[in-house]
Structure 1
Amino acid sequence: MQSNPQDAIYTPDPHILSLADWLGDPVAPADFPGTTLRFRNDRAAREVGLADLDDAAWIAHFGRFAPLPGNLSQPLALRYHGHQFRVYNPELGDGRGFLFAQMRDGHGRLMDLGTKGSGQTPWSRQGDGRLTLKGAMREVLATEMLEALGVNTSRTFSVIETGESLWRGDEPSPTRAAVLVRLSHSHIRIGTFQRLGMLDAPAEMEQLVDYCLASFPGPALPPDAPEPDNKAARLLHQVVERMADMAASYMVAGFVHGVLNTDNMNVTGESFDYGPWRWLPTWNPAFTAAYFDHSGLYAFGRQPEAIHWNCGQLAVALRLLSEAPPLIAALNRFPDLYQQAMARRWCWRLGVEPRGLEEDSALIGACEAAMVAQGIGPDAFFFAHRGGRGPFADDDAGAALKETLGPYRSTVDDHPYWTDEAPQSMLIDEVEAIWEPIAEKDDWTALHAKVAAVRRMGEALGVAPAPRGHA
C-alpha cells in the first residue's frame, strides 16, 4: 500500500542492470514527428525529485527519452511470458514500452519509470509500438481515480502527444498518438518468473527472487510458515498478501480491470496497465469491462479468484527453487487475507471504525444487498452512507443495513467534499464526455478539472489502511 507522498532529491539507482543480461533487450525509442506536452504529474514527480524540470527538459526526457543523469544509458524492453485468458503465451515482452529509469523516492523505495507507446521492440510482433492519445487520456483518469480510492496503483507520470496518426479497430480512425510514462514500484511481473520457469533457468530465477526480496521488502513471514529460510516461499508469501489486498481494493473501489492476465500482474501488488477498464454503474458481480471477455472470466465478481489463480502460476514457476508444501502454504493464505483486506478497506471507505472480521463481513453483505435492491453503484452508496448515515431505503435491505450499521462509530471528518451534491465517479459516459472536446477542439479543460476533482476526493478519503506489517 502506498504511504503518504514525500518529496525527494533525485537519486538515480538503475538496480535492474544486475539482471539486464537476461531480463531485457536494449532498445531505441521511436523518433516522433512531434512532442506536445499534454499532462505532467508534478505531484508524482516531487516524490522522485523531478518536479523542477522545466517543460523543455521534461519533453527531452519523456518525449525524446534523453537519458536521465546517472541512470540507464539505454532503455530496456523487458522479457516475460504469461497466461492470457488462461492460455499460456511464450511470445510476450514489452512490445510498445520499455523501462526508462530507476530512482529512489522520498521513502527510499526503488521506483521505475516505464513507458507505453514508445515504439517498436523485439517483442512488438505485428504491432506498431504506439499508443493512442485517447488511450493515454483514459490511463490518466484510471490511475488518478484509483489512487484517490486507495488502490495501490502505478501513476501516470507524463503524456506527450507525438504528432502521428494511428489506425485502430476499436476507435474512430485515424486517431491521434501519444507516448505515456508511468511511475511504479516495479515492472517485475508474474510472467517474468513464468518465463524463467519455462526456460528452466534456476540460476536466473534465484537472482530474480533475491532482487525482489531486496528491492521490495515486505512483511515478515507468519509464525507458522514452513521452511522460514526458503526464499522462494518468502517471496510468494509477500506477493500473496499484496495481491489479496489489491483484489480487495478493486472490489471496494467498484473497479473492473478487464485483463487480469499474469503478464499484467506486478509482484509488488501494484495495479497497472489499463486498457478496457470500467467502474460499476450498479453493483453487479457479472459486469465485465472487455468486449472480448466473452466468458466473463474477468468479470467484477470473479476478480479475486482470477488474482488468486495468478498467484498460483507464480507458485508453479517458483517450483524451480522450492518444494511444493511451503508454496502451497503461502497460496492457502489468500482467502483469509482477502477477507481481512475487504473488511479493512470497506470500513475505511464507508467511514466507520472496524468492529471485527465477523461483524465487518456482515456489514459488507448488508451493503451489497442494499446496493442491489436500490440499483445503485458503490460511488453513490458510499457517499450517501458515509459515516454510517442514511438515507436508508424503505425496504427490507434498507432496514437490515440500518440495523447492521447501528453499532458502528463514524470516522468522518468535516472535509467539504462530503457536502457536495454528488460524489465523484468515473463511469464510461463521463470518460467519453471528457474525450469529446479534446478530439474536436483540442480542449483539455474537462480533463484537468476532473483530475483536480478526483484528487480533492482523495484528500477527503485520506490514506487507505495498510496491510499488516506495512507502513
Structure 2
Amino acid sequence: MNAPITAPAGTALPGLAWDHGFARLGPRYYTHLHPTPLPAAHWVGRSESTARLLGLDSPAWHGDDTLQVLTGNAVPEGTEPLASVYSGHQFGVWAGQLGDGRAILLGETRNGFEIQLKGAGRTPYSRMGDGRAVLRSSIREFLCSEAMHALGVPTTRALSVTGSPASVRRETIETAAVVARVAPSFVRFGHFEHFAAQGDEDALRALADYVIDRYYPQCREVGADTPGGAYAALLAAVTERTADLLAHWQAVGFCHGVMNTDNMSILGLTIDYGPFQFLDAFDPGHICNHSDHQGRYAFNRQPQVAYWNLYCLAQALYPLIDSEPATLAALEPYKARFPAQFLLRMREKLGLLQPREDDGALLDRLLALLAQDKVDYPIFWRRLAQAVAAGDFGPVRDLFLDRKTADAWLLSYSERTIEQNQAQAADLMLNTNPKYVLRNHVAQGAIAAAQQGDFGELQVVQGLIEAPFDEHPLLAHHADFPPDWAAHIEISCSS
C-alpha cells in the first residue's frame, strides 16, 4: 500500500489542531494506516459552512496542500489515520465483521469533530473491495449531507469532494473521488455489536464508557442507583435520538435506502449516504434502493426498522446492562416518542400553531389522499404554505385527481386553522416546507456535468440546497415536477 507523503507542518488544513479520542481506545478498535494516493487530484466541491464549523482558515484552506490532504495524498502532521472495525446486520442478516472498508479517519480536531476520508483506498476491512469511491456517489453524498443539514435534519457533514482521473470499476468504468466527511463521532451500532459478538466484554465496556463520557455524560447521573446504570441510560438516550431522527426523515420524505445496523449512528445522525432518495410522488411503499429486492427498507418501513436496529444495539449492550427489564425499558420510549415527534413536525408543516387532539386524524386523512393520488410530496407542501400566505388554495387543489376528497380535506383544514394568525402560520410553513430538495434528477444533472469536467451545475445545486426555503426565482425549474426519465434512475448500493 503506497504511503502518502507527510505535509509540511502548518501548511495543511490551516487553523486546525488535532486530538485523538477514539484512537486512545487502543488497537482492538482499529488499524493504523495511511490513505492510498490518487493521481492528478482536483477540487470538485467545497462546503464553506462546514469549514467554518471546523474552524478552518478561509480562504487559505482552498490551497493545494489542503487538496492533497483531503484526497489522501498527504497526511498532515499531528494526525493518526486509522480505519475502525465493526460488525453488523445487513438486510436483517448477521454479516459478521465489517469495518471501514473505504473510509480512513484522519483524526479528531481539538474542537471536537472527526474528519474521515471516504474513498481513500483499501483497508484491512475492505472485504475484497477496492477501497475507492466514484465521482457519482461522492457528489451525491456531498450534496445530501449539506442538504439535510440545511433542512435541520441531524446528519454527518461533508467538507469537500475531490476527484481524480484514476479508473474505478463499478457497473462501468468510472473515475475516483474522495469525500471528506465530518461528524462529532462515526461510532455506529455495529461497533458495539462487534465486541458483543466476540464476547469481549472488556472492549465493549471501554467503548461504551468512551461514548458515555464523551457524548452522553448525563447518563452517569441518570443511571446512578438504577437497574442497568449508565449503560441502560445510554441505550435510552440513543433510542430517543433515533426516534427523533426517524421523525425528521419521515416528515421531509427522505428514504435512506440501506438501514443496516452498521449504518446507524450512535449519536442519532444520518450517516452513510448510499442509495438515498427524497420522495417525488408520495408513495409510502417506495423503495429507493434497487438492491433491496424484498423492500425491507421501503419508506414506510423505516421507523420499524430503526426500532429493530435499536433492539440489536440493546442485545449488544445487554452484557453491560445485565437486566432484561432495564434493557427493554430503555427501548420503550421509542414507541411513544417517534409518533409524538413525527406529529410535532407535521403540525409545523401544516402550520398548526396550537395543537389539538384531532390533528392526528386530519394528518392521516391527508397522507392517505396524497398516497391515493401519488401527489408530488415537496410541491404539495410548498404550495400549501403559499396558499396559506396568499389565501388561494386553487394551486393545491390542482395537484389532486380526486377533487371531491381533496376539497373535503381542504375544507376541514380551513376550519381547523380559521382562528389562527394566518401570517404567523404562513411564515412557519414557508420556513418548514422547502422549495428545493435534492431530487434524484437534480443530483443527476450535477453529476453528468461533473463527469464532463464542468462543476458549475454542482455549485448551482449546492447553492439551492444550502438555502432550500428561499425562492431563487431564476432557478425555479429545479423545484418543478421531475421529468419522466427521472423515474428510471436506478440507485443501488454501489451509488
**TM-score band w.r.t. shorter chain:** 0.7 to 0.9
Instruction: Answer whether contact 1:225 1:326 (CA < 8 A) is retained.
Output: no
What is the aligned partner in structure 1 of residue 6 from structure 2? none
What is the aligned partner in structure 2 of residue 442 from structure 1? 453
Instruction: Report whether the alignment pairs 1:451 with 2:459.
Output: no
Q: Number of aligned pairs?
A: 440
Question: 1:324 is aligned with what amino acid?
Answer: E
Question: 1:338 is aligned with what amino acid?
Answer: F
1:294, distance to aligned residue in structure 2 (A): 1.1
What is the aligned partner in structure 2 of residue 355 from structure 1? 355
Please give the alpha-carbon distance, in whole angstroms, between the structure 2 residues aligned to 1:458 and 1:219. Answer: 35
Please give the alpha-carbon distance, in whole angstroms, between the structure 2 residues aligned to 1:216 and 1:459. Answer: 34
Please give the alpha-carbon distance, in whole angstroms, between the structure 2 residues aligned to 1:221 and 1:398. Answer: 54
1:46, distance to aligned residue in structure 2 (A): 0.7
Instruction: Answer whether contact 1:130 1:178 (CA < 8 A) is retained.
Output: yes
1:220, distance to aligned residue in structure 2 (A): 6.7
1:373, distance to aligned residue in structure 2 (A): 4.1
Please give the alpha-carbon distance, in whole angstroms, between the structure 1 residues aligned to 2:221 and 2:48. Answer: 39
Question: 2:404 is aligned with what amino acid?
Answer: D
What is the aligned partner in structure 1 of residue 67 from structure 2? 59
Instruction: Answer whether contact 1:165 1:174 (CA < 8 A) is retained.
Output: yes
User: What per-residue deviation string (whole Å, max 9, x for no partner) do you get for residues 167-212 of structure 1?
Assistant: 112xxx2211101111112111100000010111111111111111
1:124, distance to aligned residue in structure 2 (A): 0.8
User: What per-residue deviation string (whole Å, max 9, x for no partner) do you get for residues 283-310 of structure 1?
Assistant: 1111001112111100000000001100
Q: 1:398 to 1:329 in 2, by over 3 A?
A: farther
Please give the alpha-carbon distance, in whole angstroms, between the structure 2 residues aligned to 1:307 and 1:111. Answer: 25
Q: Secondary structure at the match of 1:129?
A: coil
More moved, 15-24 vs 403-412: 403-412
Please give the alpha-carbon distance, in whole angstroms, between the structure 2 residues aligned to 1:25 and 1:286. Answer: 40
Please list every run of 5 or more consecutive structure 1 residues that lacks an aligned counterpart in the other structure. 1-7, 461-471
Please give the alpha-carbon distance, in whole angstroms, between the structure 2 residues aligned to 1:449 and 1:349. Answer: 26
Identity of aligned pairs, percent?
29
User: What per-residue deviation string (whole Å, max 9, x for no partner) do you get for residues 309-354 of structure 1?
Assistant: 0000000001111111111001111121101210222233444425
Please give the alpha-carbon distance, in whole angstroms, between the structure 2 residues aligned to 1:17 and 1:163. Answer: 33
Instruction: Answer whether contact 1:148 1:459 (CA < 8 A) is retained.
Output: no
1:432, distance to aligned residue in structure 2 (A): 2.0
1:264, distance to aligned residue in structure 2 (A): 0.3
Instruction: Answer whether contact 2:102 2:122 (CA < 8 A) is retained.
Output: yes
Instruction: Report whether the alignment pairs 1:403 with 2:412.
Output: yes
Question: 1:89 is aligned with what amino acid?
Answer: A
1:48, distance to aligned residue in structure 2 (A): 1.2
Instruction: Report whether the alignment pairs 1:40 with 2:46.
Output: yes
Q: 1:353 to 1:12 in 2, by over 3 A?
A: farther
Instruction: Answer whether contact 1:148 1:458 (CA < 8 A) is retained.
Output: no
What is the aligned partner in structure 1 of residue 345 from structure 2? 345
Question: 2:447 is aligned with what amino acid?
Answer: W
Q: Secondary structure at the match of 1:177?
A: strand
Please give the alpha-carbon distance, in whole angstroms, between the structure 2 residues aligned to 1:197 and 1:297. Answer: 25
Instruction: Answer whether contact 1:147 1:458 (CA < 8 A) is retained.
Output: no
Please give the alpha-carbon distance, in whole angstroms, between the structure 1 residues aligned to 2:271 and 2:365. Answer: 31
- Aligned match for 1:138, one of 137, 140, 163: 140
More moved, 13-22 vs 155-164: 13-22
1:430, distance to aligned residue in structure 2 (A): 2.4
Question: 1:145 is aligned with what amino acid?
Answer: A
Please give the alpha-carbon distance, in whole angstroms, between the structure 1 residues aligned to 2:414 and 2:365. Answer: 9
Normalising by structure 1, what TM-score? 0.86
User: What per-residue deviation string (whole Å, max 9, x for no partner) do you get for residues 398-446 of structure 1?
Assistant: 422441454344545769988x9x932333222222222222x311111
Question: 1:167 is aligned with what amino acid?
Answer: R
What is the aligned partner in structure 1 of residue 326 from structure 2? 326
More moved, 231-240 vs 210-219: 210-219
Normalising by structure 2, what TM-score? 0.82
What is the aligned partner in structure 1 of residue 301 from structure 2? 302
Please give the alpha-carbon distance, in whole angstroms, between the structure 2 residues aligned to 1:38 and 1:442. Answer: 9
Instruction: Answer whether contact 1:68 1:101 (CA < 8 A) is retained.
Output: no
Please give the alpha-carbon distance, in whole angstroms, between the structure 1 residues aligned to 2:308 and 2:334. Answer: 10
- Aligned match for 2:114, one of 109, 112, 118: 112
1:388, distance to aligned residue in structure 2 (A): 7.3
Higher helix share: 2
Please list every run of 5 or more consecutive structure 2 residues that lacks an aligned counterpart in the other structure. 1-13, 398-402, 472-495
Please give the alpha-carbon distance, in whole angstroms, between the structure 2 residues aligned to 1:459 and 1:303. Answer: 29
What is the aligned partner in structure 1 of residue 486 from structure 2? none
Question: 1:268 is aligned with what amino acid?
Answer: L
What is the aligned partner in structure 1 of residue 437 from structure 2? 425
Question: 2:83 is aligned with what amino acid?
Answer: A
- Aligned match for 2:95, one of 89, 97, 120: 89
Please give the alpha-carbon distance, in whole angstroms, between the structure 1 residues aligned to 2:224 and 2:414. Answer: 36
What is the aligned partner in structure 2 of residue 197 from structure 1? 196
Instruction: Report whether the alignment pairs 1:278 with 2:277.
Output: yes
Query: Where do 1:16-31 residues align within 5 Å?
Result: 16-31=22-37
Question: 2:62 is aligned with what amino acid?
Answer: D
Instruction: Report whether the alignment pairs 1:76 with 2:82.
Output: yes
1:222, distance to aligned residue in structure 2 (A): 12
